[in-house]
Structure 1
Amino acid sequence: MPRPRSLSQDRIADAALAVLDRAGTDGLTMRAVAGELGTSPMALYRYVDDRGQLERWVVERVLSRVDLALPEGLPWAGRIELLLDRARAAVVTHPAVVPLVLTHRHAAPSSLRLIETMLAVLTEAGFTGTDRVVAQRALIGHLLGTLLLDHLGPLPGDGTETMAALPVDAFPHLAATAAHARQVAPADEFRLGLAALLRGLRPGSD
């Protein structure tokens, strides 16, 4: 199979994303990506060291699409909400990327730029020291946690249905909450949870 004249990092990452969208993480192999590019695995290895590097390139490609420009005049909480909503939207476009984001988020330059932008907003709002650490980790934790829960889907045996059917005399709150949870869309759960978290974050306690 002839070697393409040039393979850029973005082109290889786009091919890997196409494989992920079609076959999931189990299907992400050097052979599959090479086939997507119309080349051989050996030719691909001239550009990529191993699958780990390929995964990092994929995460970088996805997160590089997050617009970090924020409108002036918007309150700090609104800017954080907009930033994390953009990050979520970029990742959910490729659901199979979620586990890779969790694994390689600290190795992707665009991930670091996203966090730097968040920290700049928090700093401008008056968060310093421990306050800033806790706020940043709580916000990233909410983003990653909701992405992971959405990616994993329902519990085996449809856990929400099982919990909703629990006897109300023994589990009144759990049964009622599980029943209502079936009506909450993932995007709404992310947005409302983030709003609640932001209401609770206040600078100045450090």
Structure 2
Amino acid sequence: MPKPLLSSDAIFDAALRILTEEGAGGLTIRNLATHLKCSNSTLYQQVGTAEQLVRGVVARAFADLEIAFDADAAWEVAAQSWCAALRGALLDQPELCRLMSISDRAVVVDYVHRLLVVLERDGFSHSQAIEIGGILAHVTVSMTISDIAAPGQWDDPRVFATTVRWLIHGMAAARAERLLRPAHRTRSDTP
């Protein structure tokens, strides 16, 4: 009698245990199949390629992260808090970061959406909020992954905090310029 297929929950739970216990290098189809007492082909049938397994593990792990930031503060403080919280959650999961790639952009979308709510509440248009959220997410994730990949080279927390502060300061200045720039006059407006 054929063995019933494994649930994706069982597969990803086992994969996350391996990631925690053995690190990113231990997350192979063969090792996962051994832990689940199934064949490699069963896993390939369930999750697809090894790359698809890794992308699924990253998505699952990220969905389980508890990330809280100061959403009630003014947008500048909230954005700094948001970046710090995302970075902290990623630093707590270095093996997860070792698996992440540009293909995993979508895993932060829900978290970025929470920042967009704050930005729009404080007067940014939806398109401006998306641009700001995208930039801050990119910088936060990229710097964190780089710091984990090469510890001791650029991972001074002050570098990250300064980068984020400068970005937010620049965004605030650009916003102020747009708000303070006089409306463009047409010939019919001139006295």
| TM-score, normalized by the shorter chain, greater than 0.5 | yes
CA RMSD of aligned residues (A): 3.2
CA distance, structure 1, for counterparts of residue 36 and residue 89 of structure 2: 23
> Are residues 1:198 and 2:168 paired?
yes
Unmatched 5+ stretches in structure 1: 161-180
Does the 8 A contact of 1:98 with 1:148 survive in 2? yes
> 1:191 and 1:8, CA in 2 relative to 1: closer, same or farther beyond 3 A?
farther
Please state how far the C-alpha of 1:71 moved relative to its aligned partner: 5.3
TM-score calculated relative to the size of structure 1: 0.66
The count of corresponding residues between Structure 1 and Structure 2 is 175
Structure whose residues are more often helix by fraction: 2
CA distance, structure 2, for counterparts of residue 18 and residue 48 of structure 1: 17
Please state how far the C-alpha of 1:129 moved relative to its aligned partner: 6.3
2:113 paired residue among 93, 98, 116: 116
> Are residues 1:146 and 2:143 paired?
yes
Unmatched 5+ stretches in structure 2: 180-191
> 1:137 and 1:24, CA in 2 relative to 1: closer, same or farther beyond 3 A?
same
Please state how far the C-alpha of 1:133 moved relative to its aligned partner: 4.5
Please state how far the C-alpha of 1:35 moved relative to its aligned partner: 2.0
Correspondence for 1:106 = 105
Correspondence for 1:172 = none
> 1:55 and 1:188, CA in 2 relative to 1: closer, same or farther beyond 3 A?
same
Code of the residue aligned with 1:121 in structure 2: it is V
Code of the residue aligned with 2:103 in structure 1: it is H
TM-score calculated relative to the size of structure 2: 0.70
Counterparts of 1:12-161 in structure 2, within 5 Å, are 12-21=11-20, 23-67=22-66, 73-108=72-107, 111-128=108-125, 131-153=128-150
CA distance, structure 2, for counterparts of residue 147 and residue 72 of structure 1: 22
Among all aligned residue pairs of Structure 1 and Structure 2, give the percentage whose two residues are the same amino acid: 26
Please state how far the C-alpha of 1:24 moved relative to its aligned partner: 4.7
CA distance, structure 1, for counterparts of residue 77 and residue 167 of structure 2: 12
User: Which structure has the bigger radius of gyration?
Assistant: 2
